[in-house]
């Protein structure tokens, strides 16, 4: 095993001024075999990246919220095919766009209710402003988490669905609605539910929707790569000291490499890690099993053919054909699962090779023009290639 060369692409991006810093972690066969602490968590302050640096993990929050939901499902409090409207009546009478990109009032009725499975697989018909086009995208762009949960939900419920529930997969606020639903089922705020069901049992003391003053000092500053190819640090304010009025289950968490490693090990270990059981093997199997139809995999995801050799479980991608998947997305054996975050954070767990890899950075993307930027900007492409090169070299270094 020789992992000395896997950090080269990341160091190149840092030295080129495209990235402030990164923390990577490689776990293999029961132990951490490498941690890279590269660059700075705050350039101006001269603060280096460290193993315990805290990152905004964005959509890496989604599997955590789903795992908490599955603990409630195991207790019989809901089933995956239950209508969500039983607990979230605000979504009971949503309308559906007749055609993608049509006017917001060009709608038809729901053919069936939205289920929990729809929310967890992004097949509810909900969306993000960057996952759709037309007037509905603009309407989604006006939604804001900087308000209380009920007001956000009321505004969301005024928008039509992008398509009928179950018809296709559209990346969405589904996990945010799921967070509201399980909070109501449990009768407590989402941040308390996640702490009781996931964070406290697993000892994930640096993971949550808010940070203490001491934790703030370990927080990585968010940077954005400007049009002049220089890093800007004014793209996001400091994290909250207390849980916000709306804890977004789909994107609001902060965490560290070691905390998230524990969560990933739990899923890799069929629901158990270090003697602590969070989920049953059956619940983990459901989360890690592809649920998409063949027709749904023919449809592009966020503008690209994302499902080549891969499927989607409950808020996690799943490798179904390693040979096909590796050509486009890098190495990972059959059943490899994981999900990235919009700020450049990424992880995967590979049961076939007993490997977990984490790659944590803080890069604020321009989601409205992201694909065009990468296609026409050499620097942006170099930044984007740092992570897949790191993963390929990691597997090579492990001899896999």
CB 60 within 8 A of CB 66: no
For each of the domains in the chain, give its residue range(s) and CATH number, in order of start. 8-61+204-397 (3.40.710.10), 72-186 (1.20.58)
Helices (H), the chain: 8-15, 61-74, 116-121, 134-141, 149-156, 174-186, 190-194, 200-202, 213-216, 257-268, 281-287, 294-297, 322-329, 370-376, 378-397
d(C-alpha 135, C-alpha 139), whole Å: 6
**Would you say the pTM of this structure is higher than 0.85?**
yes
Q: What are phi and psi of 388, to 5 degrees?
A: -60, -35
Which among 313, 357, 314 has a CA at the least distance from the CA of 333?
357
Q: What are phi and psi of 272, to 5 degrees?
A: -125, 140
d(C-alpha 164, C-alpha 108), whole Å: 9
Q: Could you read off the pLDDT of 198-239 as tens digits, one per residue?
A: 999 999 999 999 999 999 999 999 999 887 888 999 999 999
Alpha-carbon distances, residue 37 vs 21, 253, 347, 359 (angstroms)? 8, 21, 16, 11
pLDDT-above-90 percentage for the chain: 91
d(C-alpha 339, C-alpha 345), whole Å: 9
Q: Could you read off the pLDDT of 228-284 as tens digits, one per residue?
A: 888 999 999 999 999 999 999 999 999 999 999 999 999 999 999 999 999 999 999
CB 253 within 8 A of CB 195: no
- Give, for 276, the enclosing helix (H) or strand (E): strand 276-277
pLDDT beyond 80 at 376: no
Q: Could you read off the pLDDT of 79-88 as tens digits, one per residue?
A: 999 999 999 9
Mean pLDDT of 51-62: 98
Which among 224, 231, 218, 120 has a CA at the least distance from the CA of 178?
120
Cα–Cα–Cα angle for 11, 61, 95, rounded to 5 degrees: 125
The predicted pLDDT at position 228 comes to 81
Which among 3, 66, 37 has a CA at the least distance from the CA of 266?
66
Alpha-carbon distances, residue 120 vs 1, 8, 105, 175, 336 (angstroms)? 38, 36, 27, 6, 18
Which among 132, 55, 47, 120 has a CA at the least distance from the CA of 346?
55
């Amino acid at each position: 095993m020789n992992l000395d060369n896997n950090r080269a692409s990341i160091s190149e991006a840092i030295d080129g001024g495209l990235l402030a810093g990164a923390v990577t972690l490689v776990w293999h066969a029961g132990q951490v075999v490498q941690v890279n602490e590269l660059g700075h968590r705050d350039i101006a302050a001269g603060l280096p990246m460290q193993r315990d640096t805290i990152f905004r993990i964005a959509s890496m929050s989604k599997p955590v919220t789903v795992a908490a939901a599955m603990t409630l499902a195991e207790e019989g409090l809901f089933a995956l095919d239950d209508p969500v409207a039983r607990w979230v009546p605000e979504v009971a009478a949503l309308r559906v766009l007749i055609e993608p990109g049509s006017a917001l009032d060009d709608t038809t009725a729901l053919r069936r209710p939205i289920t929990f499975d729809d929310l967890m697989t992004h097949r509810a018909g909900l969306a993000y402003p960057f996952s759709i086009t037309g007037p509905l995208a603009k309407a989604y762009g006006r939604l804001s988490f900087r308000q209380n949960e009920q007001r956000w939900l009321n505004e969301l419920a005024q928008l039509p669905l992008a398509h009928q529930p179950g018809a296709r997969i559209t990346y969405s606020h589904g996990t945010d609605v799921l967070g509201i639903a399980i909070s109501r089922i449990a009768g407590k705020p989402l941040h308390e539910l996640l702490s009781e069901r996931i964070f406290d049992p697993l000892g994930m003391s640096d993971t949550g929707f808010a940070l203490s003053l001491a934790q703030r000092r370990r927080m990585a500053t968010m940077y954005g790569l400007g049009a002049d190819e220089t890093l800007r640090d004014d793209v996001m304010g400091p994290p909250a000291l207390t849980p916000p009025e709306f804890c977004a289950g789909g994107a609001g968490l902060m965490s560290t490499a070691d905390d998230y490693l524990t969560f990933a090990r739990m899923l890799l270990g069929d629901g158990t890690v270090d003697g602590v059981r969070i989920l049953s093997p059956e619940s983990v199997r459901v989360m890690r099993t592809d649920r998409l139809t063949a027709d749904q995999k023919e449809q592009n995801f966020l503008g690209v053919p994302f499902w080549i050799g891969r499927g989607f479980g409950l808020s996690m991608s799943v490798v179904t054909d390693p040979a096909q998947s590796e050509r486009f997305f890098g190495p990972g054996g059959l059943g490899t699962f994981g999900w990235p975050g919009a700020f450049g954070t990424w992880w995967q767990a590979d049961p076939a090779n007993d490997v977990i890899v984490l790659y944590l950075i803080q890069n604020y993307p321009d989601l409205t023009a992201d694909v065009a930027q990468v296609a026409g900007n050499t620097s942006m492409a170099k930044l984007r290639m740092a992570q897949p090169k790191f993963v390929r070299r990691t597997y090579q270094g492990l001899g896999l």
